[in-house]
Amino acid sequence: MMLRFRNTSELYFRFSVDQGVQNMDDGSWERLGETMQHTKAYLRKNETDRKLDEVVRASMEKRGVISTTHAAGQISRLQDVTQTLAGFKRCPAPTIFYTGRQNENTKVATCITGGKNERRVCVVYGLGGVGKTQLVLNVIELTWEEWDHIIYVDASSTEAIEKALTQFGKAKKVGETFKDVIRWLESCGERWLVVFDNADTPSTNIRQYIPTRSRGGAILITTRLPDLARLAEGPNSVCHLSSMSQTDGTALLVKIASLGSQALPDKDIKIAGELVQASNRGFVAARIFPHRM
């Protein structure tokens, strides 16, 4: 396996605790403590730590390097390989605790996928901490197969935006600057999604980074600035996100508290509901409930 993937980085990772456990048999349970010590020593190595960081980064980016067919060892035509590797999708995964917001999920997903021959711009705005980013990341998961390319951009500053677009251009070999990337998006004719996350700085002119024309492209913007709603284009393209509902907030608390265990007793579910009801914002209660449990 190592030989098969030796020329492909960030794809195949092998971890093995060899030192000190060579002579252990399957039934050597009485030497469990010894095995744990060797494992801890292995995990403390700089090389192991570096590889673990690479695994986490590769998993979060979910970048398509090769198809599962090629990973299994099957050979395809060169044309098929080229088409498979042409896409570029790099985006964080939503939290495993994501809960609720079904109406908002549907609204945003329908907006960005509905414009097959036109540009769509969807703006999700609301106070900090209400879950704008997680909503958008969940929508991306739901619509993943709709896009040839997904570009996730930290829009907290001009420098961060231009850096992300430039990195995409170099990775795709479509340009050396962010302006090259914008021009390419305007003319490529492919299905792409650009996400400008945390566009909260008033001095950042986000409009200048939005392609002025495209057929089938879409833009998602998350922001605390209500004024950016004027950039929205398309049906249901403005989503005002407020605090979670009583039902969603309770479901979130229960999901967090029951992680890795059996279903919570009814009395604990009742406590979760009371915490949400007592809080002006469900997400605030979500931060204190696990500590109480």
In whole angstroms, give the CA distance from residue 27 to residue 115: 61
User: What count of other Cβ atoms lies within 10 Å of the Cβ of residue 67?
Assistant: 15
Tens digits of residue pLDDT in 106-155:
999 999 998 778 889 999 999 888 889 989 998 998 899 999 999 999 99
In whole angstroms, give the CA distance from residue 33 to residue 25: 14
Residue 42 exposed, middle or buried by CB count within 10 Å (0-12, 13-18, 19+): middle
Give this prediction's pTM.
0.60
In whole angstroms, give the CA distance from residue 152 to residue 188: 18
Residues 12 and 93 in one domain: no
Residues 228 and 163 in one domain: yes
Residues 49 and 154 in one domain: no
Residues 60 and 146 in one domain: no
Tens digits of residue pLDDT in 160-180:
999 999 999 999 899 999 999
Residues 193 and 259 in one domain: no
What is the domain extent for residue 261?
246-292
Phi, psi torsion values for 167, nearest 5 degrees: -60, -40
Residues 220 and 252 in one domain: no
Whether the Cβ atoms of residue 138 and residue 124 lie closer than 8 Å to each other? no
Q: What is the pLDDT of residue 101?
A: 79
Residues 139 and 268 in one domain: no
Q: Of the candidates 63, 85, 107, which is a domain's last residue?
A: 85
In whole angstroms, give the CA distance from residue 202 to residue 173: 32
Q: Is the pLDDT of residue 78 over 60?
A: no
User: Residue 208 sits in a domain of what CATH number?
Assistant: 3.40.50.300
Residues 126 and 61 in one domain: no
In whole angstroms, give the CA distance from residue 32 to residue 35: 5
More confident residue, 245 or 158: 158
Residues 120 and 149 in one domain: yes
In whole angstroms, give the CA distance from residue 103 to residue 204: 30
Residues 221 and 101 in one domain: yes
Tens digits of residue pLDDT in 255-264:
565 665 556 6
Residues 219 and 105 in one domain: yes
Residues 101 and 208 in one domain: yes
Alpha helices in the chain (DSSP H): 32-43, 46-61, 68-71, 78-85, 102-114, 132-142, 158-172, 178-187, 246-257, 266-278, 282-292
Q: What is the pLDDT of residue 21?
A: 59
Total domains present in the chain? 3
